[in-house]
């Protein structure tokens, strides 16, 4: 997921001068709500990824 995000959005994020996907989304759409939604989605994906990693350890 993160590699795909990097490949697809890296140039746009750099053009906007942002460092995170939620910042880019918020700036691109001019909406604090869009930034919040993108942040929540990013956190959910990270949690799912971590849970899968911990399940793999067990």
Answer for the pair 16, 27: CB distance below 8 angstroms, yes or no. yes
pTM: 0.73
Q: State CA 43 to chain mean position distance.
A: 8
- Check residue 21 and report its DSSP letter: H
Q: What is the pLDDT of residue 48?
A: 96
The pLDDT of residue 1 is 67
Q: Give me the sign of the Cα torsion angle 31, 35, 37, 38.
A: positive
Positive or negative, the Cα torsion across 36, 41, 45, 51?
Answer: positive
Which domain covers residue 47, as residue numbers? 2-57
Q: DSSP label at 30?
A: T
**Tens digit of each residue's pLDDT (9 = 90 or more) over 8-38:** 778 777 888 888 889 989 999 999 999 999 9
The number of beta carbons lying within 10 Å of the beta carbon of residue 54 is 9
Task: Count structural domains, the chain.
Answer: 1
> How would residue 55 be classed by pLDDT, with cut points 50, 70 and 90?
very high
For residue 57, pLDDT over 80 is answered with yes
Give the model's pLDDT for residue 4.
Answer: 80
């Amino acid at each position: 997921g993160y590699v795909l995000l990097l490949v697809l959005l890296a140039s746009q994020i750099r053009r906007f001068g942002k460092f995170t996907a939620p910042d880019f989304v918020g700036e691109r759409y001019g909406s604090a709500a869009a930034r919040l939604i993108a942040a929540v989605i990013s956190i959910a994906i990270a949690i799912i990824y971590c849970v899968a990693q911990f399940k793999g350890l067990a």
